[in-house]
């Protein structure tokens, strides 16, 4: 890798929030492997730092890895965390199912981090980790690939998905601070990140909310990105010169269909019953659920609706062209190998 194109040197301090999450430890590992030796990892007091400690322990030679416990809702903690850093990788997000909770732990925390960054002048990049959930996909033709220019969800609140709403608003506030205060930001939107450490099946394949697994994806391609590949893309988005205010979608090459994934999962991890719900039927059911939810004035929450169907279960093609051309990214772990590692981890977890 050509480090001359980097905006920071190996000793410049880097802050990683959400460092104990699924992507966090892998991002830290990737940064250390690239030779960045001054990392500050921000973790919640309630986090389980086992994976992170294991990663940091492997790269002790000359590297300074500082772990800070705190809460991004605390302005004081944010000022401490951002002091003197050159790059911020903002991975922290919320798993809260409520709109207010998700918003508070995604948007208010991001605002605090951006605000505290204004106190320090050394910041050269703020990498905001977003999600494919922010794309609308409603009016897009199924033959047009989903890429960075695709329209964003404008009715996130009515999608019934607190995470989607929070992520849309998080992106908005990052852009706003970039425009108003000149914070040099980059937005990274990973697809479905998979790999060891996350054994659940993405909702794009199907759901098991009703006691049996409903296979919704069918022949749809799933926008998978293996965790190592995703971490590599995030690192590049944080350190490559000349990509300020850019957005990067992260998906791997050789994507497989939902049906193929489910079949491999059953063969390699565990057998279970599933029912395939054809697209026409799933769309009709989502539409029906949405209408009933409105008619019954919320007796059933709008968990299933047409917006969700478009976002998660509509047949869509994906592009990683921008990632490759602008950042020079290439997936180091091919899909085939990624799946082997993932299934192995699932099996180990099951037998643990």
Q: Phi, psi at residue 44, to the nearest 5°?
A: -75, 150
In the complex, minimum distance from the CB of residue 341 to another protein, in angstroms, rounded to a whole number: 25
Nearer to another protein, 198 or 314 (CB): 198
Question: Are the C-beta atoms of residues 153 and 134 closer than 8 Å to each other?
Answer: yes
Question: What does the per-residue mask of binding to another protein show for 29-68, with x meaning CB under 8 A?
Answer: ---------------xxxxx--------------------
Nearer to another protein, 159 or 192 (CB): 159
Please give the full DSSP string across 56-84, using - where no structure is assigned: HHHT-SS-EEEEEE--TT-HHHHHHHHTT
Residue 298 binds to another protein (criterion: CB under 8 A): yes
Nearer to another protein, 20 or 136 (CB): 20
Count of other CB atoms within 10 angstroms of residue 91: 22
- Considering only 1, 54, 100, 241, the residue that binds another protein (CB under 8 A) is 100
CA 311/CA 306 separation, integer angstroms: 9
State both tokens at 303. Answer: 């968990």
CA 272/CA 87 separation, integer angstroms: 45
Please choose, out of 3-11, 96-104, 177-185, 280-288, the segment that lies near another protein by the rule CB under 8 A. Answer: 96-104
Count of other CB atoms within 10 angstroms of residue 8: 20
Please choose, out of 82-90, 137-145, 204-212, 295-303, the segment that lies near another protein by the rule CB under 8 A. Answer: 295-303
Q: Phi, psi at residue 190, to the nearest 5°?
A: -75, 150
Residue 208 binds to another protein (criterion: CB under 8 A): no
In the complex, minimum distance from the CB of residue 4 to another protein, in angstroms, rounded to a whole number: 40
- Considering only 51, 111, 240, 314, the residue that binds another protein (CB under 8 A) is 111
Question: Are the C-beta atoms of residues 292 and 300 closer than 8 Å to each other?
Answer: yes
Please choose, out of 20-28, 98-106, 218-226, 325-333, the segment that lies near another protein by the rule CB under 8 A. Answer: 98-106
Segment 136 to 175, residues that bind another protein, using CB under 8 A: 157, 169, 173
Please choose, out of 21-29, 56-64, 92-100, 257-265, the segment that lies near another protein by the rule CB under 8 A. Answer: 92-100
Q: What's the half-sphere exposure (Cβ side, CA atoms, 13 Å) at 105?
A: 17
In the complex, minimum distance from the CB of residue 140 to another protein, in angstroms, rounded to a whole number: 24
Please give the full DSSP string across 35-46, using - where no structure is assigned: T--EEEEEE-TT
CA 107/CA 162 separation, integer angstroms: 12
In the complex, minimum distance from the CB of residue 279 to another protein, in angstroms, rounded to a whole number: 29
Alpha-helical segments (H) within 106-203: 109-117, 162-181
State both tokens at 262. Answer: 């489910």
Size of residue set near another protein by CB under 8 A = 24
Question: What does the per-residue mask of binding to another protein show for 209-248, with x meaning CB under 8 A?
Answer: ----------------------------------------
Please choose, out of 5-13, 100-108, 183-191, 255-263, the segment that lies near another protein by the rule CB under 8 A. Answer: 100-108
Strand partners, 126: 88, 185
CA 163/CA 203 separation, integer angstroms: 13
Write out the residues near another protein by the rule CB under 8 A. 44-48, 71, 95, 98-101, 103-104, 107-108, 111, 157, 169, 173, 295-299
């Amino acid at each position: 890798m050509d480090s001359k194109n980097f905006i920071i040197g190996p000793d410049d301090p880097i802050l990683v929030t959400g460092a104990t999450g699924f992507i966090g430890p892998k991002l830290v590992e990737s940064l250390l492997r690239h030779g960045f030796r001054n990392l500050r990892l921000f973790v919640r007091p309630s986090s389980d730092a086992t994976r992170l400690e294991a990663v940091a322990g492997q790269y002790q030679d000359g590297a300074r890895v500082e772990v800070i416990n705190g809460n991004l809702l605390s302005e004081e903690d944010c000022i401490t965390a951002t002091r003197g850093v050159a790059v911020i990788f903002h991975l922290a997000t919320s798993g809260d199912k409520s709109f207010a909770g998700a918003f508070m732990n995604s948007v208010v925390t991001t605002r605090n981090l951006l605000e505290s960054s204004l106190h320090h002048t050394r910041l050269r990049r703020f990498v905001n980790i977003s999600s494919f959930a922010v794309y609308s996909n409603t009016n897009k033709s199924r033959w047009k690939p989903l890429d960075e220019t695709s329209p964003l969800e404008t009715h996130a609140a009515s999608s019934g998905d607190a995470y989607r709403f929070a992520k849309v608003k998080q992106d908005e506030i990052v852009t706003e601070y970039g425009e108003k205060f000149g914070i040099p930001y980059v937005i990274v939107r990973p697809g479905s990140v998979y790999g060891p450490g996350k054994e659940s099946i993405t909702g794009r394949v199907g759901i098991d909310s009703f006691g049996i697994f409903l296979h919704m994806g069918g022949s749809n391609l799933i926008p998978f990105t293996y965790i190592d590949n995703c971490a590599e893309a995030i690192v590049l988005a944080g350190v490559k010169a000349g990509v300020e205010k850019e957005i990067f979608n992260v998906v791997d090459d050789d994507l497989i269909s939902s049906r193929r994934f489910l079949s491999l999962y059953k063969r390699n991890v565990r057998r279970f019953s599933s029912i395939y719900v054809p697209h026409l039927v799933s769309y009709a059911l989502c539409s029906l659920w949405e209408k009933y939810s409105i008619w019954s004035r919320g007796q059933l929450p709008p968990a299933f609706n047409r917006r969700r169907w478009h976002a998660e279960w509509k047949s869509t093609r994906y592009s990683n062209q921008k990632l490759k051309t602008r950042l020079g990214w290439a997936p180091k772990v091919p899909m085939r190998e990624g799946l082997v590692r993932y299934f192995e981890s699932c099996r180990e977890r099951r037998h643990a």
